Chains A and B, each alone.
Chain A
Amino acid sequence: GEDVEQSLFLSVREGDSSVINCTYTDSSSTYLYWYKQEPGAGLQLLTYIFSNMDMKQDQRLTVLLNKKDKHLSLRIADTQTGDSAIYFCAERKRDSKIIFGSGTRLSIRP
């Protein structure tokens, strides 16, 4: 099917690392994305990775891509209260259609 799958909720303690996982559908997808949506706000592109890469690091964010298993993860180091949001995984298919997952709601415990 066309479903990009993510777990719905993740709760982490402030200062710990958060790892959000995603399984996508198309082994020929060219780009994989992570978007962030804060309450009442639009979608903000956090980071993306080209399909010929295994890893991408950008400050506190680390993206890992396992093409064999069609698995994408986003690690947020030193999670802060400002990281509370919904995180969406998305894939850009060969035909350029971009499909999103249902989002993972990240909440931060003090």
Chain B
Amino acid sequence: GAGVSQSPSNKVTEKGKDVELRCDPISGHTALYWYRQSLGQGLEFLIYFQGNSAPDKSGLPSDRFSAERTGGSVSTLTIQRTQQEDSAVYLCASSSGRGEKLFFGSGTQLSVL
């Protein structure tokens, strides 16, 4: 597609449930990033994929968070046993191999009740 696509755009879940958030990067982009933006806050780095290299998971806040990137394209961020503090907008971004421009999706608004 023309831009970074994220789904769902909104997700409401109950505390303790697992959720999966999806990101479709721009075709041909080898780098993919996940960020979290809590209400009124900045962007918190979560995880970064580059090509076939091992991902940089240094920003994942706990072992309840994991992410995969299949076939070097689509990525799924999974949050297990969701907590209320997980409520935030989860943003995905991608860039080409040179990486000087990062393009963002519209985000998934996650609400944990």
- Whether A88 contacts B102 by the Cβ 8 Å rule is no
A50, A88, A90, A96: which contacts B48 (Cβ < 8 A)? A96
- Asked whether A96 and B104 contact (CB < 8 A) given A88-B42, A102-B41, A102-B42, the answer is no
Within 8 A of B (CB), among A54-98: 88, 90, 92, 95-98
In the complex, A101 Cα to B37 Cα: how many Å?
A: 11
In the complex, A48 Cα to B45 Cα: how many Å?
A: 19
- By beta carbon, the residue of chain B nearest A41 is B106
In the complex, A97 Cα to B41 Cα: how many Å?
A: 19
In the complex, A88 Cα to B91 Cα: how many Å?
A: 14
In the complex, A100 Cα to B93 Cα: how many Å?
A: 13
- Is B56's beta carbon under 8 Å from chain A? yes
Within 8 A of A (CB), among B24-50: 31, 33, 35, 41-43, 45, 48, 50
Q: Which residues of B contact A53 (CB under 8 A)?
A: none
Other than A100-B45, A103-B43, give 19 A-B pairs with Cβ distance below 8 A.
Answer: A31-B99, A42-B106, A43-B43, A43-B93, A50-B100, A88-B43, A90-B43, A92-B100, A95-B56, A96-B48, A97-B45, A97-B56, A98-B33, A98-B45, A98-B102, A100-B35, A100-B43, A102-B41, A103-B42
Q: What mask results when residues 67 to 108 of chain B are scored 1 for a CB within 8 Å of chain A, else 0?
A: 000000000000000000000000101000001111111110
Tally B residues with Cβ within 8 Å of A. Answer: 22
Which residues of A pack against B, CB within 8 Å?
31, 33, 42-45, 48, 50, 88, 90, 92, 95-103
